[in-house]
């Protein structure tokens, strides 16, 4: 059975010091790198996503000068800026597919993005016969949640490596993990993977 690792949005703007910094983001980036050192060979496919928003315009209403932090946000992860780059603590040498999402419109799930070759995550998982996936990254209560739900909808058995995710806030993050468990995801620690 082919397994994938889905690494969601471990980017400078979502880690400490970024435009939408998540507490613990750098620690998650570092921990994912350590995990990859030991486990990269366990995965047929390793997909890493990045928000990749247009510099001009509001990206379909995604950016706002008065954000509500639910549907609208401050400017973040603008294409080709340092904020959109992977956190330097994240080792990406084992990543097999890099996905960019947003690009002029709101996008939370990595399944809304494409690789440089124009492939969707769904197409990549199907091509490699992926039936199960481990999900890690930022933010638990937004893009990790959306990506994991889309993986489940794609028919993939999902495990959330709970010590390798970081959320915006504790309550919505706990609610997101509960929703994912209800949808069929299994919550484990990376040591159990």
Contacts of 102 (CB under 8 A, 6+ apart): 51, 52, 53, 54, 59, 62, 77, 113
Our answer to whether residue 116 is catalytic in this structure is no
Look at the block and give the residue holding tokens 């947003």: 102
Helix (H) or strand (E) run with residue 7 in it: strand 2-8
DSSP type of residue 73: B
Q: Which of 13, 26, 143, 150 is catalytic?
A: 143
- Residue 77 annotated as catalytic: no
Q: What is the dihedral of CA 131, 133, 139, 140, to 10 degrees?
A: 90
For residue 96 the two structure tokens come to 């097999």
Distance, in Å, from the CA atom of 136 to the CA atom of 139, rounded to the nearest integer, reads 9
Nearest to 147 by CA among 50, 56, 52, 65: 50
78 in Cβ contact with 50 (< 8 Å): no
Write down the catalytic residue from 87, 101, 134, 150.
101
Task: Look up 9 and say whether it is catalytic.
Answer: yes
Tell me how far apart the alpha carbons of residues 133 and 56 are, in angstroms, rounded to a whole number. Answer: 35
Catalytic machinery residues: 9, 101, 143
């Amino acid at each position: 059975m082919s397994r994938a690792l889905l690494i969601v949005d471990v980017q400078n703007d979502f880690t400490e010091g970024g435009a939408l910094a998540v507490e613990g983001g750098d620690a998650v980036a570092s921990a994912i790198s350590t995990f990859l050192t030991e486990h990269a060979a366990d995965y047929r496919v390793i997909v890493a996503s990045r928000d990749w928003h247009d510099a001009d315009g509001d990206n379909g209403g995604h950016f706002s000068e008065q954000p509500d932090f639910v549907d609208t946000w401050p400017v973040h992860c603008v294409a080709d800026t340092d904020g959109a780059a992977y956190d330097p603590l994240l080792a990406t040498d084992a990543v097999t597919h890099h996905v960019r999402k947003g690009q002029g419109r709101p996008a939370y799930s990595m399944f809304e993005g494409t690789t440089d070759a124009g492939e969707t995550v769904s197409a990549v998982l199907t091509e490699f016969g992926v039936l199960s996936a481990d999900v890690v990254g930022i933010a638990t209560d937004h893009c990790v949640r959306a990506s994991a739900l889309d993986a489940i909808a794609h028919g993939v058995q999902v495990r959330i490596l709970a010590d390798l995710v970081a959320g915006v806030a504790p309550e919505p993050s706990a609610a997101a993990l509960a929703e994912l468990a209800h949808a069929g995801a299994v919550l484990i620690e990376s040591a159990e993977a």
